[in-house]
Amino acid sequence: MQKLIINFTPTGMIPTKEMTPHVPVTINEIVEDVHRAYELGITLAHIHARDEITGVPTYKKEVYAELISGIRKYAPDLVICASLSGRNFNTLEKRADVLSLKGDLKPDMGSLTLSSLNFNNVASMNAPNMIEDLAKTMKIKGIVPELEVFDVGMINFGNYLMKKEHIKPPLYYNLLFGNIACAQTNLLHVGVMLNDLPKDALIAMAGVGTGQMLMNFLAIAIGKGVRVGLEDNIWYDTERTKLATNSDLLKRIHVVAEANNREIMTPSEFRTIMNMEPGYGRYGRVYN
């Protein structure tokens, strides 16, 4: 069975200090949470930047540069994925801003949601031309897309991008279940999604809210990876009586992984499978 990919998502765009005191918002807080996660054992970190004064999400490469620099002081081999979300920003200039970082500040990956979708109170807009332009920009910059899929139609669009050679194997997918307008946390939806994915793709499964634990545990049992962190779920228990820390969520994943005989995939092992640079000053992928 393949080693377990742990995609750590510490912050996201929604959780605030008012919702939970445990969500890292400042640059130092995010760096420290990623550092603790790295010491526990993770494969990659999916990071969102927040404005230092207001705490609201920001696209600015200067903030991402500080985040990436801070993380790589402790973890020069860790795979870092920068969010290119369309939930708050919907111009190519803003969403691709972080992709212009170079050298030690260059992200290895950028998130690429493969269609527009609705969340509870807001839409994430991902028009076809926006998705293609972000994919083409990442290919030019040598940055690997982290393909985010909330429903089966998004897999079809990913296959379309592959036919047009905007994205190239090896591919990595996050499958996200439980969002109000998308695939739900049940075995039928999981099976349909897994059935339609390209062969040999690397996969991590996530659940929104209290569905996180169910989808993470299922993924571990069936040989897939997990996406876990306060971005998707701020609660430790399904009854929502205890707020989680990122460390709480990661430690539980390690316990379940050990019970299922799943070793954790190291960042270096992930880089090798994904044909990525080795880290330690060399990041992303060289496209032929």
Segment 92-101 shows an average pLDDT of 97
Q: Does the domain at residues 6-273 carry the CATH identifier 3.40.50.1240?
A: no
30-47 burial, b if ≥16 CB within 10 A, otherwise e? bbbbbbbbbebbbbbbbb
Q: 24 vs 14, 73, 104, CA distance in Å? A: 12, 18, 23
- pTM given for the model: 0.97
Report the alpha-carbon distance of residue 179 to residue 191 in Å, rounded. Answer: 17
pLDDT bin (cut points 50, 70, 90) of residue 122 is confident
Segment 159-176 shows an average pLDDT of 97
Per-residue pLDDT tens digits for 192-228: 999 999 999 999 999 999 999 999 999 999 999 999 9
Tokens (6 digits) for 248: 């709480």
Segment 167-186 shows an average pLDDT of 96
pLDDT bin (cut points 50, 70, 90) of residue 58 is very high
Q: Report the length, in residues, of the chain.
A: 288
Residue by residue, DSSP assigns 155-203 as: HHHHHHHHHTTSS-SS-EEEEEE--TTS--SSHHHHHHHHHHSPTT-EE
pLDDT at 160: 97
pLDDT bin (cut points 50, 70, 90) of residue 90 is confident
Cross-strand pairs, 46: 81
Query: Is-contact 111 146, C-beta < 8 A?
Result: yes
